[in-house]
Amino acid sequence: MKRLSIKLRVTLWFTLLMVLLSVLSLALLLYGSAQSGLAARRELLVSMVEDSERELEADGEALDVDRDLVAFEDGVYLSVYDAAGVPLYGMVPRSFDNSQPFADRQLRTPESEGTRWYLYDARFEIEGYGTCWVRGICEAQAVDSTIGRVVQLALVILPFFVLLSAIGGYLLTRSALRPVRQIAQTARQISEGNDLSRRIALGEGRDEIYTLAAEFDRMFARLERAFENEKQFTADASHELRTPVSVILSQCEYGLSHPGDERQSLAAVEAQAERMAALIGQLLTLSRAESRRQQLTPEPVDLSGLAAAVAEQIAEQAAEKQITVGAQIEPGITLMGDQTMLMRLLINLMENGVRYGRVGGWLKLTLRREGEEILGCVADDGPGIPPEQQSLVWRRFWQADPSKSGEGAGLGLAMVKWIAEAHGGRVWLESVPGEGARFYFALPQTVG
């Protein structure tokens, strides 16, 4: 059975169930009909015998039987006898053994020559005549023979009913499982063609199969995004690592071929190695974060003091581009969080502002309480970010200005987004091209 397809198995079970239900229903119907028919035959027999008294009267010393007394009607035979059992009127079936003794008003079922009969006798006292007997006889198997013909007819019709049930079950199952075939076909096409852009697309529906297909489509969409992100990550990581590796190789070759310039070559190698180490560290952190293996170390953090320290540190870097760093920080803001990660969030946002800010421009850090949240903002007067690119800034390795790729790995804002969300917060960007950019972060105020 397990080797059969689901469609065939459902069809077989459906057909078997329909046959069983039909046979059971027919059996109950025949049994009920038989009992009802036999009961009706018995009632007719008794009533004809009992009603016959009205047709009997005395004619002198003889018994006069009215002509309205029918000797045979609806399969019931009536016969009249005197007190000694001598027949006076009526009919008796030829195959019936009429030697049965009389029994007043007792319904009996004797058998005669292989036939079962209903027998009912009634004794009447006729005024002016005396005692007489009226005997009623009918064949009990007459109803059984009718039922037998119905059974024979059912046996002829049943094979056609089975065939019709099988065809109907097959068509019904085929129609019900058509979406499953479409799901399997789409999955096979994706597997064979490596095309994650394909979708099942069953359309609108409320049953379980349509729900399953919709979930598969959403899963395929997530897989497609994951594979695209992975491909983009591989390409970007390769690009970012290729430059420092090329510099290291070239500096090694230069140092080997120019004795006396080893310190200069080693300094360049050290700078590129530090850059690679920072890149690899950030990649490792993001990888752990995405796999939920990067654990935070929560502790009470004085975010106001931390922000002021970061602003002071970044001001030294910004001075090289003549960028003025300002800070508007509400004092006493504390929360429960990972101090190292929160410091990384602030440093990444402000370094990003310095990297893309205008020479001689400004950079401002604000921090304040707003309702149940802590709201922070890093604003600059740089070139801004076009609207179509604003949703891309949180992606790994994405940079608004490719010419500045040597100044960073493009992972800073991706880490900012993860750090904020890991603390139960959120980040967003507001920017108008030519008017600078404002990077916001909101964190839940869990302490203070």
Q: What is the pLDDT of residues 284-321, one digit of tens each?
A: 665 655 555 556 778 899 999 999 999 999 998 888 88
Single residue among 241, 261, 290 that ends a domain in this structure = 290
Is residue 268 domain-shared with residue 139, that is, in the same domain? no
Q: Give me the DSSP letters along 52-90.
A: GGGGEEEETTEEEEPTTS-SEETTEEEEEEETT--EEEE
Classify residue 166: in a domain, yes or no.
no
Classify residue 214: in a domain, yes or no.
yes
Domain containing 116: what range?
A: 7-146
Amino acid 276 reads M
The end-to-end CA distance of the chain, in Å, is 68
Is residue 285 domain-shared with residue 326, that is, in the same domain? no
Classify residue 188: in a domain, yes or no.
no
Instruction: Find out whether 132 and 56 touch, Cβ atoms under 8 Å.
Output: yes
Residue pLDDT, tens place only, 90-131: 989 988 888 889 999 999 989 887 888 999 999 999 888 889
Instruction: Find out whether 71 and 78 touch, Cβ atoms under 8 Å.
Output: yes
CATH of the domain at 26: 3.30.450
Instruction: Find out whether 343 and 349 touch, Cβ atoms under 8 Å.
Output: no
Output the pLDDT for position 448. 41
Is residue 386 domain-shared with residue 312, that is, in the same domain? yes
For the entire predicted model, the pTM comes to 0.46
Is residue 283 domain-shared with residue 316, that is, in the same domain? no
Output the pLDDT for position 384. 86
If pLDDT is split at 50, 70 and 90, which confidence band does 355 have?
A: confident
Is residue 334 domain-shared with residue 257, that is, in the same domain? no
Is residue 437 domain-shared with residue 303, that is, in the same domain? yes
Is residue 283 domain-shared with residue 333, that is, in the same domain? no
Helix (H/G/I), strand (E/B), else coil: 441: strand
- For residue 305, the Cα-to-chain-centroid distance in whole angstroms is 52
Is residue 358 domain-shared with residue 260, that is, in the same domain? no
Single residue among 272, 290, 308 that ends a domain in this structure = 290
Output the pLDDT for position 356. 85
Output the pLDDT for position 405. 45
Give the range with max mean pLDDT: 165-169, 206-210, 255-259, 427-431: 427-431
Question: Which pair of tokens denotes residue 199?
Answer: 């979708």
CATH of the domain at 352: 3.30.565.10
Output the pLDDT for position 5. 65
β-bridge mates for residue 364, sequence order: 326, 379
* Number of compact structural domains in the chain: 3
Residue pLDDT, tens place only, 202-249: 767 666 777 777 777 788 777 777 776 666 666 656 655 666 677 777
Classify residue 27: in a domain, yes or no.
yes
Characterise 159 by phi-psi region: left (phi > 0), alpha (psi -120 to 50), beta (else). Answer: alpha
In the chain, what's the furthest Cα-to-Cα distance?
166
β-bridge mates for residue 163, sequence order: none
Output the pLDDT for position 364. 94
Classify residue 133: in a domain, yes or no.
yes
Amino acid 446 reads T
Portion of the chain with pLDDT greater than 90, in percent: 21
Is residue 320 domain-shared with residue 430, that is, in the same domain? yes
Classify residue 195: in a domain, yes or no.
no
Single residue among 267, 290, 313 that ends a domain in this structure = 290
Output the pLDDT for position 406. 46
Classify residue 352: in a domain, yes or no.
yes
40-49, 207-216, 225-234, 338-347: which range is least confident on average? Answer: 225-234
Is residue 276 domain-shared with residue 307, that is, in the same domain? no
Residue pLDDT, tens place only, 179-203: 777 777 777 777 776 667 777 777 6
- For residue 308, the Cα-to-chain-centroid distance in whole angstroms is 53
Which of 303, 243, 305 has the alpha carbon at shortest distance from 276?
243
Is residue 259 domain-shared with residue 305, that is, in the same domain? no
Is residue 270 domain-shared with residue 357, that is, in the same domain? no
Pairing mode, strands 373-380 and 437-444: antiparallel
* Number of Cβ atoms within 10 Å of the Cβ of 84: 7
Classify residue 197: in a domain, yes or no.
no
Which of 371, 370, 299 has the alpha carbon at shortest distance from 337?
299
Amino acid 217 reads D
Q: How far apart are CA 224 and CA 108, in angstroms?
A: 86
- For residue 378, the Cα-to-chain-centroid distance in whole angstroms is 46
CATH of the domain at 249: 1.10.287.130
